[in-house]
Structure 1
Amino acid sequence: MTQQSPAQHVEPDTAAAVALTQELVRLRTVNARDAVEIEAPAARVVESVMRGFGWDVSVQEVAPGRPNVVGVITGTSAGRTLMFEGHTDVVTEGDPAAWSFDPFSGDIVDGRLLGRGSADMKAGVAAMIHAARAVELGGFRGRIIVGALCDEEEMMIGATAFAASPLAAGVDGVIVCEPEEGEICAISKGAMRVRIGVLGKMAHGAMPQHGRNPIPAVGRILLGLQELGEQIAAGLGSHEYLGEFYLTPTVVQAGTIEQINVIPAVASIAVDIRSIPGADHGAVVHLIRRLTEQITDEAGLGSKIEVLVDRPVVDTPHGAPVVAALAAAHLDITGQQPVFGGVPGTTDGTILSRDAGLSTVVYGPGGKWIAHQVDEFVAVSQIEEATRVYARAAQLFLAEET
């Protein structure tokens, strides 16, 4: 790397990053479809912090009550543009009685900051904001974009909107601040969500001969999907960082419990597919369609296949500048050689890569497997460490000659 030292080193305010994490966790920004507003309370806090630093801040309401907050910091001279990215929505806490503490407490107990969204990913959002502030105070060239986006946990409309914006065109590298427990994840699984509709004919339960019941066909399709998933996984093998291909039925719907005496006209299966390099998404959908049509044709039924989500595998080379800067920063701050891994799900980085062609890498505080579980927490020490690593990575990335 050809590097120029920043004007001075400014230690990030890690205490402020921890306090901001607490403040954000205490806001229930659950991604629920019936909510009047979701991310807005957290977005207002983030916007206030960014404006308090004097950053150029834009707020885009991607959907009602669902804003993206983007802060831009301009350096002393022209250079690269680095983006830090995180999301402000969280998944449901489920049954609060299943938790051993208040799901939105934000309290710190025995070095752990507790609550839904603490790891996924309000700690990452707080860390990236205060890391960017430290780099700004130390002096740098180029630009830093700090994006706190909406709707990562569902359709990623926030990332989609940012990818289509003029700002995205100038970004040279993105650090997605999702919880990976210190692993540098330059590769992420692809994902598809597919809905299979089985079309029958409604009839009275006492006179099934007058209808065509889709439910028995659903049972056969479920068995076929299991076998299909196993066959595809066996053909692809296990990936070094991502593990195996998964094809998982997640939702089955047919009729209503209030109408036990009615044969439903339609039954459906939702399928969650997680792919690895070598998996052809189009070919997978073709196999699902062929399986479904074979079974429904034999039963005298119709069928409909819908691809609801199609996100590719993201594979950024380890030698890409943003990955190399992050790896060097991890070594500088922790004193340990970086460990490379893979993201088992998809992140906003998937959309930024797919739609805007951006070079992305995922790295952040919190356990990789704690997300979406009860008793979610993040270690305070990991928030502090990630804030320092982000700041150092930005210094290295922005100091390098383009």
Structure 2
Amino acid sequence: MNSVMRFIKEDDLVSLTKELIEIPSVYDPLDDNANEEKVAKYIYEKLKQVGFEVYIEEAAPKRPNVIAVLRGNMPGKTILLEGHTDVVTPGDASKWKYHPFKGEVVDRKIYGRGACDTKGNLAASIIAAKAIKDSGISFPGKIILCIPVDEEGMMTGIKDFIRRGWADDVNGAIICEPVDNNICLDIKGAIRILVRIKGKMAHGCMPYAGINPNIGMANVILKLKELEEKEKERLGRHKYLGFPSITPTVVMSPSNGKGQLNVVPEDSLIAYDLRTIPGQKEEVLLGQIEEIFNQLKKEVENFDCEYEVIEKRPCVSTERNDPIVKSVEKAYTKVTGSEPVYNGVPGATDGTFLRAWKNIPVVVIGAGEREIPHQRDEYVSIDQLIETTKIYAASILNFLYENF
């Protein structure tokens, strides 16, 4: 183990994290140049230069996944480490104390968009695998670095990765996300729904000549809030995932274009983000929602709505006795000298689909305070990032070479 750890260099880790942050990879469908292409190509070339077997594949136009493979010299299991290249928008950069795309180092913290979510952890996975390669140590099996696009969106990258067969022989996966290096075995599910309430345009001074969809919209929001409260009462608070939620995140009236003060809109739109926990079944929950809509048709005059489920991500869990969990537990204790801390992931991850579609056991672990992602002046601690890199390297060896 020590022969590998001495190849984990702080300067290499910090430099790579900074380099990744300095390449903006915020996706914008309205801007042809705003995507993950530049950072993916940079990673591809970097990994190829240091001797990995590397592939680059477009999951969508100008949105390429990078896959790197390191093969052992004996047959064995396959372990996957996943870290995405996309980051969320920084918003108004002038409101940041540290520039979002400069990777500034201050007081042993690296600042910038993606520092902890998840370019720092992506760098940690690369440095960990490279340390194993550079050590020249013999190991069985295979290491795959999955570096996909679009984790912050519809997870196009991991879906494409799975569809192309890359996950077919994977026995365990580490998802490199910012969770304070807690060992997370439970991941909340997500359902995204678009609800459109139909109305009829009219002059604001003669509202009864039309049908106001905002009345129906208000009833939908209140009724689904009641359903949320019933689910919270039925299930209680999950030890690691907290309560389930049914959240209206976007409310628009009309659904397209701009509203006008003296115009009754012809329709309205509510976008819902549902987060599920164990004990909830997607089909049952969606059936309850449809029943609410049917009831509103009876109770609210002229109520007419349609809804579309645009994404379903099931709640998933990995058992504590799984080999990938035991490997990470052992690595954590070895690196930190402490007992592991367990937790859950409040949002879906790319690991959701690895677990749900391919039944691959997944552990989510990585550097970064849990509440820092997506905020201004995002940062990651260098000391914690070094700890993470060592945990990744030790976990890989524990998993591939049992009792290493």
Shorter-chain-normalised TM-score: which range? over 0.9
Residues 1:361 and 2:363 aligned together: yes
Letter paired with 2:236:
G
Task: Give 3-state SS (helix, strand or coil) of 1:44's partner.
Answer: helix
| Residue in 2 that maps onto 1:13 | 9
Distance 2:127 2:297 in 1: 56
Q: With structure 1 as the length reference, what TM-score do the two structures score?
A: 0.95
Aligned counterparts, 1:49-128, within 5 A: 49-128=46-125
Deviation string, structure 1 residues 256-296 (Cα, Å, up to 9, x no partner): 44543332222111111111100122222122222233224
Aligned counterparts, 1:340-351, within 5 A: 340-351=342-353
The answer to whether the 8 A contact 1:213-1:265 is kept is yes
Q: 1:154 to 1:319 in 2, by over 3 A?
A: same
Unmatched runs of 5 consecutive residues or more in structure 1: none
Letter paired with 2:288:
L
Residues 1:262 and 2:263 aligned together: yes
Distance 2:167 2:6 in 1: 28
Residues 1:203 and 2:202 aligned together: yes
Distance 2:28 2:359 in 1: 30
Distance 2:160 2:85 in 1: 15
User: Once superposed, what is the RMSD of the aligned Cα atoms?
Assistant: 1.7
Distance 2:219 2:60 in 1: 40
Q: 1:14 to 1:173 in 2, by over 3 A?
A: farther
Residues 1:275 and 2:276 aligned together: yes
| Residue in 2 that maps onto 1:149 | 148
| Residue in 2 that maps onto 1:302 | 304
The answer to whether the 8 A contact 1:173-1:360 is kept is yes
Q: 1:6 to 1:19 in 2, by over 3 A?
A: closer
The one of 331, 339, 345 equivalent to 1:337 is 339
Q: CA deviation at 1:209?
A: 2.7
Q: CA deviation at 1:6?
A: 10
What is the aligned length? 397
- Percent identity, aligned pairs only? 38
Distance 1:6 1:24 in 2: 28
Letter paired with 1:39:
E
The one of 340, 354, 357 equivalent to 1:352 is 354
Q: 1:21 to 1:292 in 2, by over 3 A?
A: same
| Residue in 2 that maps onto 1:385 | 387
Distance 1:80 1:14 in 2: 29
Task: Give 3-state SS (helix, strand or coil) of 1:49's partner.
Answer: helix
Distance 1:105 1:386 in 2: 22
When structure 1 is superposed on structure 2, of 108-117 and 350-359 the one drifting more is: 350-359
Deviation string, structure 1 residues 33-89 (Cα, Å, up to 9, x no partner): 223141111101211111012111110111111000000111111111111101000
Distance 1:233 1:73 in 2: 45
Q: 1:272 to 1:258 in 2, by over 3 A?
A: closer
The answer to whether the 8 A contact 2:247-2:273 is kept is yes
Q: CA deviation at 1:7?
A: 8.3
Deviation string, structure 1 residues 203-257 (Cα, Å, up to 9, x no partner): 3334333321111111122122222111111110011111111111111111244
Distance 2:169 2:149 in 1: 21
Distance 2:360 2:4 in 1: 29
